[in-house]
Structure 1
Amino acid sequence: MACTVVVALIVSGCASYAPLPLGRGEGAASVTQLTAPTAGMPLPALATHRFDPADGLDVTETAMLAVANSPALKLKRDELGIARAQAFAAGLLPDPQLSLGADFPQHSGSGLTTAYNLGLSEDISALLTRSSRRAAARSQAQQVNLDLLWAEWQTVAQARLLFGQVLNLRAQQARLASEQAALEQVTPYVQAALAAGNLTYDSASAGLNAAADVRRQQADNAVALHQADSDLHVLLGLAPDAALDLTGAPYQVEPTPAQLQQALADLPRRRPDLLALQAGYQSQQEKLRAAVLAQFPALNIGFNTARDTSAVYTHGFTVGITLPLFDRNRGNIAIERATRQQLKDDYEARVLTTRSDMQRLAADLTTLDRQRHALIAHAQQLADARRAAEQSWRQGLLDWPTWLAIRSQSLAADLELLAVQQQQATQSIALEALLGNTELGDTAHSVPAQASTP
């Protein structure tokens, strides 16, 4: 009866198996099918923003959706689940070992009976290293959790970057389309002059090539737009053909010099990836400590009771010990010590690289800001010249090759301005990601893509 109860208790504590079928990986057919709970957002700017995709996605809503639905982040969260399970496993006590044996006499005789022996033993060495293993597993789980937070921050930056890229490429496409429409006005003049013999093909090449160059630029820009749009769909967990209505202006932030210096000073205490490396280093410290403890002789203690074939009952104990003559766990100790040194050097190199990158990006932003302001003035001057040239051309006061040359220069300035704006937004988003400072969002402002109209 007692054995039945024990078996029932053991079986009741066992885990059960349930199949988990694979999904089809189709993605959401519409943005409205997805949700972005504010409670799970990693940054205050996202946690306090109202999510309403019915009127389109602004840059903050896009970042929220990426955090909630990014397939890459789902894998990171699965890794966290594994790390927590490993921490749980590290804290479990080793199961005792139960042994049972029986001996049957080969000859019958008076006083002979079946002999048996029953023993129960426990691995004491596993108990000695349990605290170190638990501490190492907890630090490992903390590292994975911080890595997940850092991945979420990087996903926010990626969503903001792709949002700006898509809008910028759309603005370039619109500018090229309007230029192509304007250039179509000169095509009849060129063809008529060629037909009348008033123009050679050499002279007409400027007019014929201008429209071809714009069409080529449109095609190249369309390919880049397709790539950015596809990347954004994947990041948001959307099906490739799902409609994506982006509203508002791209994201850009300009930290002050004081904020940069404060962020540099607080860097190791704030950046999740650096905190994750610190947790990983602490986990390795515990692993080394466990390896040092494991060099002592492995000890196994057990108790047994037995009855021989003469019905004589005995009680005793067993002690098993590993003689530390050759191994003494020296190999594992050397491995854990070398790994600790590697993690230490990795952390210091990461901090040094981050400080250098932050200073470089801050200097780049200053340069790009001056370049953008100069390009705005330059593009505006060329836009005024283009409009004046078109009016003169229509009045017959300006030949069409000169008009085309002015249009080409104006188009190049507008596209260069859009490219610099995108580069500046990219650098500012990268700088904020390196800073890891959520308070920089208070100084953030949106800068719309600028281009003159034909």
Structure 2
Amino acid sequence: MGTTGRALLVMSALLALAGCASYASLPLGDGRGAASAAGLSVPAASLPLPALATHRFDPSDGLDVTEVAMLAVANNPDLKVKRDELGIARAQAFSAGLLPDPQLSLSSDFPSASGQGLTKAFNLGISEDLSTLLTRSSRLAAATSQADQVNLDLLWAEWQTVAQARLLFGQVLTQRAQQARLDVEQRALEPLGHTVREALRAGNLTYDSASAGLNAESDVQRRLTDNAIALHLAESDLRVLLGLAPSAPLDLVGEPYQAAPTPAQVEQALANLPQRRPDLLALQAGYHAQEEKLREAILAQFPALTVGFTRARDTSSIYTSGFTIGLTLPLFNRNRGAIATETATRQRLKDDYDARLLTARSDLPRLLADLAALDRERAALDAHAHELDEARSSAERTWQAGLLDWPTYLAIRSAALAADLDLISVRQEQAKQATALEALLGNTDFDTAHPASAQASKP
């Protein structure tokens, strides 16, 4: 091989080594979660919603509903995986824009007999696949749109995590409120249960007539157990969502999330929904990526072309230079299968987008009607529960004075308990529907979304 060939090989090797990446280990974690929210910080500037980015995160005085949402976005384990997927998509977009490396070939022949003028022969060539250059722009555009889609999917996941944090916050507060109310009821029924059992032992009551009093105490205990199990599940789900350890304290303060948009706010939010909601924008980006994939498949039906240049020497020491051309003949395949697949995929993405948008527009009237119905029900329950609370207090004083029989007193207490629990449940359902409404309209952060300042509600 001549000096030129050796120099070309050395230069190629040096260039290849210069671009090599190095390895670094990444040990696995222990999956314990944070021991407490107090030691965590939240970078407000990176949060996806203005209401979160402008809120002060201070877990030292408890977590309100906004701080819970902030912590969920910053520390949720599933969102960390989503952010890793975004890194992969961006790396794939970077890879799609890289030019293909040229192919270098070298062969050598050795004469099997010795003779005057015979020498080693070699063939040195370099070639480039030009067909990949033809589809590069479409391939790069598709990968870039896919990275945009993953980024928007991440934003949508963050919005959904905010909604889930608000729901779990309200659910935990609801279960705690019901637990506290049932504890009060259990303590209040203990004297009544004692009176009934004393009457049974004295023979003044039969088990048939005493069953209502005994069952009331047992029913409250059953409700306490069921509610405790539901509370444990809700608290566990919230800790997982926040990336906290199972034993981490949950000091929640303030009121559940509420939203009461005006008709004008709803109309405006619905009008530009496709331009704001990340899941719809992600579907649009996915559709644009599929358009580019279809263009790439159509371009790939043309003959694949490879061009190269060669330098050779035969055994008689004669040097030659030339070129090579490789051409795929489109006789049978012509990339028709890929074109059909990409065309059908584009149609599916279009229909998926249309269905998602239709669902969003159809859910809105239902949510608004549900919120209006819950407002009316809460107003009625507020008045009803207040009346029954007064009746229960009066009945308790009368029963303790011996002027009211215990079955009547028990019936009044049972009605008051049911009204109180119903009122707590309605408040939770209002928070649930309000969260769903804002998520549906694209987390618009309505001015009336927070009935009271979260910081002011802290003790």
* 1:49-68 deviation line (CA, Å, top 9, x unaligned): 11111111111111100000
Counterpart for residue 336 of structure 1 = 342
2:217 partner amino acid: A
1:4 and 1:247 map into 2 onto residues whose CA distance is 69
Q: Give 1:26's match in structure 2, choosing from 32, 37, 61.
A: 32
Tell whether the 8 Å contact from 1:252 to 1:446 is kept in structure 2 after alignment.
Answer: no
Q: CA RMSD in A?
A: 1.4
Q: Give 1:399's match in structure 2, choosing from 405, 409, 412.
A: 405
Q: Give 1:269's match in structure 2, choosing from 263, 268, 275.
A: 275
* 1:167-208 deviation line (CA, Å, top 9, x unaligned): 111000000000000001112211221121111111111111
CA 1:447 to 1:358, structure 2 compared with 1: closer, same or farther past 3 Å? farther
Counterpart for residue 255 of structure 1 = 261
Counterpart for residue 381 of structure 1 = 387
Counterpart for residue 278 of structure 1 = 284
Q: How many residues align?
A: 448
- How far is the alpha carbon of 1:6 from its aligned partner? 4.1
2:435 and 2:232 map into 1 onto residues whose CA distance is 22
1:119 and 1:442 map into 2 onto residues whose CA distance is 72
Q: Give 2:109's match in structure 1, choosing from 97, 103, 109.
A: 103
Counterpart for residue 305 of structure 1 = 311
* 1:320-377 deviation line (CA, Å, top 9, x unaligned): 0000000000000000000000000000000000111111111111111111111111
- How far is the alpha carbon of 1:44 from its aligned partner? 0.5
Correspondence 1:211 to 2:191? no
Tell whether the 8 Å contact from 1:250 to 1:447 is kept in structure 2 after alignment.
Answer: no
TM-score of the pair, normalised by structure 1: 0.97
Correspondence 1:13 to 2:14? no
1:383 and 1:197 map into 2 onto residues whose CA distance is 33
CA 1:115 to 1:5, structure 2 compared with 1: closer, same or farther past 3 Å? closer
Correspondence 1:130 to 2:165? no
**Unaligned stretches of 5+ residues in structure 2:** 1-5, 455-459
- How far is the alpha carbon of 1:33 from its aligned partner? 2.5
Tell whether the 8 Å contact from 1:45 to 1:441 is kept in structure 2 after alignment.
Answer: no
CA 1:226 to 1:441, structure 2 compared with 1: closer, same or farther past 3 Å? farther
Q: Is the partner of 1:305 in helix, strand or coil? A: strand
Q: Is the partner of 2:191 in helix, strand or coil? A: coil
- How far is the alpha carbon of 1:276 from its aligned partner? 0.5
Counterpart for residue 158 of structure 1 = 164
1:49 partner amino acid: H
Counterpart for residue 452 of structure 1 = none
1:231 and 1:114 map into 2 onto residues whose CA distance is 75
Tell whether the 8 Å contact from 2:165 to 2:238 is kept in structure 1 after alignment.
Answer: yes
2:452 and 2:138 map into 1 onto residues whose CA distance is 50
Correspondence 1:224 to 2:230? yes
Counterpart for residue 323 of structure 2 = 317
Correspondence 1:67 to 2:73? yes
Q: Is the partner of 1:440 in helix, strand or coil? A: coil
2:254 and 2:139 map into 1 onto residues whose CA distance is 51
Q: Give 1:50's match in structure 2, choosing from 36, 51, 56.
A: 56
**Unaligned stretches of 5+ residues in structure 1:** 449-454
1:83 partner amino acid: A
Q: Give 2:351's match in structure 1, choosing from 335, 345, 362.
A: 345
1:412 and 1:220 map into 2 onto residues whose CA distance is 16
- How far is the alpha carbon of 1:255 from its aligned partner? 1.1
Correspondence 1:189 to 2:198? no
2:53 partner amino acid: A
1:440 and 1:427 map into 2 onto residues whose CA distance is 14
Q: Is the partner of 2:211 in helix, strand or coil? A: helix
2:70 partner amino acid: M
Tell whether the 8 Å contact from 2:105 to 2:124 is kept in structure 1 after alignment.
Answer: yes
